[in-house]
Amino acid sequence: MQERTEIIDKLFRYVRGELSETERKQVEKRLASDTELTELLALITDLHQQRQTTSWDELYKPAHKLLQRLLQDTRKNTSEDEPVHGITIFDSNLLPQPEEIRPAIMNSRRLKYSVGDWQLTVTIYPSSPDSCELIGQLEGYQESAPLIVKLISKRMKSVIRANEFHIFRFDRAPLVPFTLQFESGGQVLAIVDIGL
Amino acid sequence: MTDNMKKDLSELIQRCLSNNDDAWHELIDRISPLIFSICHKMNLSRDESFDVFGQVCVRLVKSLGDLQSADRIFSYVTSITRNQVLSFFSKAIRQSRIIDESSRQDTPPQGKTPEELFAEMKRNELLLEALGTLPEHEHKLIFALFLDPSEPTYEEIAQKLNIPISSIGPTRGRALRKLYRVLKRKNFEF
C-alpha cells in the first residue's frame, strides 16, 4: 500500500513536470510494463486538465454566489396559494468582466429569473446616477388577458402594460432594490425582487 | 458505486433536502464540473455556460426530492444539462442570432469528427460523474488538488480540510485508486 501511494505520488508529480530526469526515466520504465499504472497516469492527466478546459477559474465563485441567491429566492415560495416568487438563475454582474472591454460598455446588466412555468429576462441600462432603463420579457406567459407589470420601490410605483410579446419597458427605474409585480385580470400572478 | 459511496451521496442529498445550504454548496462542487464540462464540449461561451448552470440548478432544487435513488443524480444532471444546452441552441436559431463561425461551423473544431467529439464528451462525463461519487473527504481532497481554481498548496489544503499534511498523499492515493476501480467497472477508456 505504501509503495502504491509512493508511485501515485510520482505519477502526480510526473504530470505536473516536477520529477527530476532520473525520476522521470524510472517512472517511464515502470509504465512500460504496468498497464494499471499507465491507466492511472491517464486518469491523473485527465483530472489535471479539467481546470484548464472549462473556464472553471472564472465560474467557480460565481456559481456558488448564484446558488446562494437561488436558494434564498426559492425559500420565498412558501405556498401554492400565493403569487409565485421569482428565482434568480442568471446575473451578469456575478461574472468577471472580460479584460479587453471598457467598463462603460459593460454597465448594462442582464438578469434572468425562473417564475413558476415562465422565465423573466431583464436588461438594465443605467441612464443617470440614480436611475436606469429596464427592459424585460416574461417568456412562456400565454394567458389572453393583458399582462400588467408594476415596479414598486420605497419611493415610487410605476405601472406598465406589456405588449403582445410580453415585453415591457420602464424608462426610469430606480437604482435601488425594487419589486416587479406581474398582474392579469386583477390578480397578482408573480413577484420578482430585483436587488441592484 | 460501492454501498458506502451510495450512502455518502444519499446522506448529502438528504441534507440538501433539509435546507442545509452547506450541503447544497457541497453538491454543487460535485456536479458543477460536469455541467460546465458539457457546456464546454458543446462550445458554449462562458456566459452561456453560466446561463445553463442556473437553469440546471433551479431544476435540481425543485426536483431533487423526486430522485428515485441518490446514485442517479449524475445521470439526471447530465440529462437536464444536455437538454438545456439543446434548448439554448434551438432558441438561438429561432432568434437568428449571429453565429460565431468558430464555434458553430459544420467542420468540428480541432479537426475531430462528430463521433470523436461525442466519444470525448461521454468519456469526460463518465470521469466527472465518477469523481462526484467519491466519499466526502476524498472528493474534497481531489477537488482541492485538481479543480480548485485557486490551486491551493498542500499547506492550504491541509488547513482548509483540517487534515494533517502527511495524510494528503495516502488519501489522494486511495481516492485515485477508488476512482480508477469505479471507472474500470464502467468500461472507461483510459
Could you please report the per-residue DSSP string of B42-106? Answer: TT--HHHHHHHHHHHHHHHHHHGGG-S-GGGHHHHHHHHHHHHHHHHHHHHHHTTPPP-HHHHSS
Give this complex's ipTM.
Answer: 0.85
Residue among B54, B58, B170 minimizing CB distance to A5: B170
What are the residue boundaries of the structural domains of chain A, listed by start?
1-75, 80-196
pLDDT along chain A (196 residues), means of 10: 82 91 93 92 90 76 95 90 93 81 68 95 91 94 90 92 95 90 93 88
Chain B neighbors of A71, CB-CB under 8 A: 21, 24, 61
Q: Report yes or no: A185 and A156 within 8 Å, Cβ to Cβ.
A: no
Helix, strand, coil shares of chain B as percentages rounded to 5? 80, 0, 20
Q: What is the pLDDT of residue A96?
A: 85
Measured between CA atoms, the residue of chain A closest to residue B174 is: A5
Q: In the CATH hierarchy, which fold is given to the domain comprising A80-196?
A: Immunoglobulin-like (2.60.40)
A97-156 residues touching B, CB cutoff 8 A: 112, 114
Digit-coded pLDDT (tens) for B96-132: 555 454 444 444 455 677 778 778 888 888 999 899 8
- Give the closest-approach CA distance of A166 to chain B in angstroms: 16
State the angle between helix axes of B21-41 and B46-63 in degrees (0 to 180), rounded to the nearest 10: 140
- Give the closest-approach CA distance of B68 to chain A in angstroms: 22
For chain A, say whether B118 makes contact (Cβ under 8 Å).
no
Q: In what order do the strands lie in the sheet with A187-194?
A: A84-85, A187-194, A178-184, A148-152, A157-161
What are the backbone dihedrals phi and psi of residue A138, each rounded to the nearest 5 degrees, phi first?
-100, 100
Q: What is the pLDDT of residue A6?
A: 87
Digit-coded pLDDT (tens) for B155-171: 999 999 999 999 999 99
Digit-coded pLDDT (tens) for A15-59: 989 999 999 999 999 999 999 999 999 999 999 888 776 677 788
Q: What is the pLDDT of residue B35?
A: 93
Rounded Cα distance, A13 and A23, in Å:
10
- Tell me which residue has cell 438528504: B14
For chain A, say whether B149 makes contact (Cβ under 8 Å).
yes
Cell of A174: 430606480
